[in-house]
Amino acid sequence: MSQLNPAHLGCGFNRLPTSVRGALLALFGEAAARVELIERSWRVRWHPRATATTRPNRIYLRHTIEDFARDPAVVLHEYFHVLNQWRPGRLTRLRYVIEWLRRGYLNNRFEIEAREFEAANLWHFHRLMARAGAAASAQRAPERHVDA
């Protein structure tokens, strides 16, 4: 994993497991490190079945960062909303509400896109997590000296 300037990290990114951080950086680039993760947010209460909701550069979580990180599909889905929809300005509160009123939650284009991205990239994300986790383990492993 590249060295990121701590001043540019989003609140909570460093609390994600190394494997998840590495996979997010590999898939989304360093912008992923600047997304803020807000635990136990009141904003999620507006969405009764949701475990997370997003706004520009933020993911609001119903529970903890650790709970969020345990579900790679949700991680991918929410980071997609933030980095591929909110960040370029395609998703706004008004556009989302209009889409939700017209088509409902499941059939609105923002959710369809996020689910499609999630489905298309979940296997790859798991592989990236495994690779990042292995690299982190190798860095932590002490060197073995074998005397002949």
Domain count, the chain: 1
The reply to whether 145 falls in a domain is no
In this predicted model, which residue has the larger pLDDT, 85 or 132? Answer: 85
What pLDDT, in 10s, does the model give residues 33-47? 999 999 999 998 887
The reply to whether 142 falls in a domain is no
Q: What is the pLDDT of residue 132?
A: 86
Is the pLDDT confidence value at 145 over 90?
A: no
Q: What is the pLDDT of residue 1?
A: 46
Cα–Cα dist 7/56, whole Å? 19
The reply to whether 28 falls in a domain is yes
The structure's pTM equals: 0.86
Q: 58-61 and 36-38 as β-strands: parallel, antiparallel, unpaired?
A: parallel
In this predicted model, which residue has the larger pLDDT, 2 or 132? Answer: 132
Tell me the residue range of the domain where 26 lies: 6-133
The reply to whether 138 falls in a domain is no
The reply to whether 147 falls in a domain is no
Q: How confident is the model at residue 8 (pLDDT cuts 50, 70, 90)?
A: very low
> C-alpha angle with apex 29: 128 to 138, nearest 5 degrees?
40
Q: Which residue has the tokens 């991205």?
A: 117
Residues in the chain, how many? 148
The reply to whether 143 falls in a domain is no
Q: How confident is the model at residue 147 (pLDDT cuts 50, 70, 90)?
A: low
Cα–Cα dist 110/104, whole Å? 11
76 CB-side CA count, 13 A: 22
The reply to whether 139 falls in a domain is no
- Does residue 36 contact residue 43 with C-beta atoms inside 8 Å? no
Q: Which residue has the tokens 């989003």?
A: 10
The reply to whether 86 falls in a domain is yes
